[in-house]
Amino acid sequence: MTALTAAPGAASRQPRLRVVPSAYRASAPIRKRLVFGSPKSYFFGMPKNLVRGGAVLAAVALLSGCAGGAAPQDDDRPVVLTTFTVLADIARNVAGEHLSVESITKVGAEIHGYEPTPGDIRRAADADLILDNGLNLEAWFAQFVDSVDVPHVVVSEGVEPIDIAGDAYAGKPNPHAWMSPVNVQVYVDNMVEAFSELDPEHADDFAANGEAYAQQLQAVQDELVDALAPLPENERALVTCEGAFSYLARDAGLTEAYIWPVNAEQQATPQQIAAAIEFVEENGVRAVFCESTVSDKPMQQVVEATGAAFGGTLYVDSLSEPEGPVPTYLHLIRHDASLIVEGLTG
């Protein structure tokens, strides 16, 4: 296996995007019953006295974004194979028309516990470049990526990881780094470098595409921050099924709470659900959410028990079909931010 670009320079690269200005943070007094505090994430399997947190977030509107079209199967462009649809969309924005970008998993797939097929392995062997997220997202992919002689780049290289809260995951990074447009700038830089090595003739185009996309990432980041700015400190709680929002919460000053840490272990226990109910009741959380790739039944139990609203389906691990609400990554962030703001301010 060939190491394309990856590591060395990446670690020192800093995202160019602006993270949330601390000045926007609301000054409203925190209600006594609010248990948010320092760790900005709360896993319902944790002892209650560890529950603390920070703030919440959210955001906003407008559709824009560009979807890379589906690539014809019989063209002679180099093939870039990604592990899931979100990465594929980001990669298409950088690749433009020069590369054929594909995703191994389909829209709606559960990507943490995916089981690759023999066909997937053939596609990997036939690709010219493989991109995966890393941060332990695609354990299933590692099983065979080393067996094919294709350059392989981990696009999260250089992102500062946030560890998952919860005993079983102590010290392990939260894989959902793409939920921060700031982090995606690093993904884009890694892609520009990898694509330029794969197809040097079009290096200038990849760099220009990366710059243009970076501006869109900045715009969506600004929208996110602006939309959440009016939320008072004591309403900045984002309660979801999976703990996928650590990076977005960090950027936007939210406290996240979730039923299970990662979808690979999505069996909600009665204890976790009871803890979620208690959290919502104690903090007067107005709305709770669940992700598109899992069942929302456990969260519906929380809704029934507490009277909180079900704020809707958030997208994280997969885009929607082209005609759905989140055909691109930029749509995904805007969609989620908009639902969160509506739910928490409703």
Footprint on this chain of Zn ion (rule: CB under 5 A): 244, 263, 317
Beta carbon nearer to Zn ion, 4 or 262: 262
CB of 304 to Zn ion, least distance (A): 25
Residue 57 is given by DSSP the state -
Beta carbon nearer to Zn ion, 44 or 195: 44
Q: Are 191 and 210 in contact (CB under 8 A)?
A: yes
CB of 142 to Zn ion, least distance (A): 17
Beta carbon nearer to Zn ion, 5 or 292: 292
3-state secondary structure of 55: coil
CB of 110 to Zn ion, least distance (A): 8
Give which of 302, 314, 322 is closest to 342, Cα–Cα: 314
CB of 104 to Zn ion, least distance (A): 16
CB of 335 to Zn ion, least distance (A): 16
Q: Please give the residue whose beta carbon sits closest to Zn ion in the complex.
A: 317
Give which of 25, 48, 52, 49 is closest to 39, Cα–Cα: 52
Beta carbon nearer to Zn ion, 87 or 150: 87
> Looking only at Cα atoms, what is the longest distance across the chain?
63
Residue 90: burial class (beta carbons within 10 Å; 0-12, 13-18, 19+): buried
Give which of 52, 341, 123, 90 is closest to 212, Cα–Cα: 90
What per-residue string of b and e applies to 313-322 under the rule 16 or more CB within 10 Å gives b? bbbbbbbbee
CB of 112 to Zn ion, least distance (A): 6
Beta carbon nearer to Zn ion, 42 or 258: 258
Tokens of residue 213, six digits = 């996309």
Beta carbon nearer to Zn ion, 4 or 104: 104
Beta bridge partners of 81: 102, 130
